[in-house]
Structure 1
């Protein structure tokens, strides 16, 4: 039985006086892909920002058995928790290769991923290795952001809306990349709006509504639960 890598219990978060997360609890196990679904504005992005320390969390967040509430984002990252934000936070003036090197946790030693691994997984990055990050397409920038996060050798990566605004072909690429990441033993917490990709690649799914978890189960269980899909997911 695989162990829980991330354990979130009774997580609350606020923006000013607005209470956004109301007692959120969930787990991510070693090496699994877990998707966090829900409509815009229900608190999915706030959940991963609170885990990362970008939004002050209240409650308990344990990563690899350690309580991380109160730690700074860079300290959390150094424990092995990677975060791929929705805004594709690359350095536009630096080349693709330089962006990837910046992701390395330790410049002197390689983790489980090398720059060559990144090029093998997504050959387009190899073709654009010396191009500035700012000239890449949205899909290429998304791949670069994810690959740069992997260069920090995380045990778990949280990926916020990676397919937003991408062409169907790039969505397919992102899905395949996520599966390959998980095959290397890296757990993934995926915040996603596209039900199809989440159902296809996840082992388990959670659905959020109004800052709370309203469903937990397998892709098959969610597909069988028309009432949950209609109330919390369908537009």
Structure 2
């Protein structure tokens, strides 16, 4: 589904990614773990063309490195940034409609499914999105991305700053997305969420992948957690 080889990226003269290698198979959930500032979000942005990538990024067999981000999205890559960008003056329903890439072709997801999945959004469907709580905005952003019918969705720090109950709901939503057959790259710091839903785990440190394995294998690697994750 997605194959990344020797990926480098820069912010000005700052070399952030140092030869990242990663692979995501169809229907697979990958958790990308690591401390803040190690390059996880930059990896997501490089895949989506928001940061200029150097190296190979192949999606469904096609090289996408260097493509404009709107062209990457139309190939079937969805992206939920950690900024939770919504249109605050537009209603929840209007925000969801904006996620549709092709009005002529029905996708796997529709507005009613999104509202059924999240009663909080259903109750506020015709209210301005700006009045939503942080957790509700996160759900809306993910739902809007799903409306574009992606084959793979990149979700960056979805539980950052959310209350524990909302964290659980967001984790449940990501699990539901995975059950529908959508591949997921989850950038996350909370191990409880990441390990609950991931098929495989990558750990990033100093702009490169320092570990890759299954959640069960990772659970035995105290050395990896202490060196690359614990503060």
Same fold, judged at TM 0.5 (above) = yes
Q: How far off its partner does 1:123 sit?
A: 1.4
Q: Distance in 2 between matches of 1:154 and 1:185?
A: 10
1:27-54, CA deviations, whole angstroms, 9 ceiling, x for partnerless residues? 0111111000000000000001000000
1:117-157, CA deviations, whole angstroms, 9 ceiling, x for partnerless residues? 10111111111001111000000000000000000000000
- Residue in 2 aligned with 1:94? 90
For the residue of structure 2 that corresponds to 1:98, the secondary structure is helix
Q: Distance in 2 between matches of 1:121 and 1:52?
A: 27
The one of 31, 39, 48 aligned to 1:35: 31
Q: Distance in 2 between matches of 1:190 and 1:78?
A: 20
The one of 110, 128, 140 aligned to 1:132: 128
Matched, 1:169 2:165: yes
Matched, 1:221 2:185: no
Q: How far off its partner does 1:109 sit?
A: 2.8
> How does 1:32-71 map onto structure 2 within 5 Å?
32-71=28-67
Number of matched pairs: 231
Q: Distance in 2 between matches of 1:107 and 1:99?
A: 15
The one of 1, 8, 16 aligned to 2:4: 8
For the residue of structure 1 that corresponds to 2:201, the secondary structure is strand
**Runs (5+) with no aligned partner, structure 1:** none
- Residue in 2 aligned with 1:72? 68
1:101-126, CA deviations, whole angstroms, 9 ceiling, x for partnerless residues? 00001123320001011011111111
- Residue in 2 aligned with 1:146? 142
> How does 1:135-214 map onto structure 2 within 5 Å?
135-214=131-210
Q: Distance in 1 between matches of 2:113 and 2:60?
A: 26
Q: How far off its partner does 1:100 sit?
A: 0.1
Q: Which moved more, 1:104-113 or 1:127-136?
A: 104-113
For the residue of structure 2 that corresponds to 1:100, the secondary structure is helix
Q: Distance in 2 between matches of 1:174 and 1:33?
A: 15
| Runs of 4+ with >6 A deviation | none
RMSD between superposed Cα atoms in Å: 0.6
Q: How far off its partner does 1:161 sit?
A: 0.1
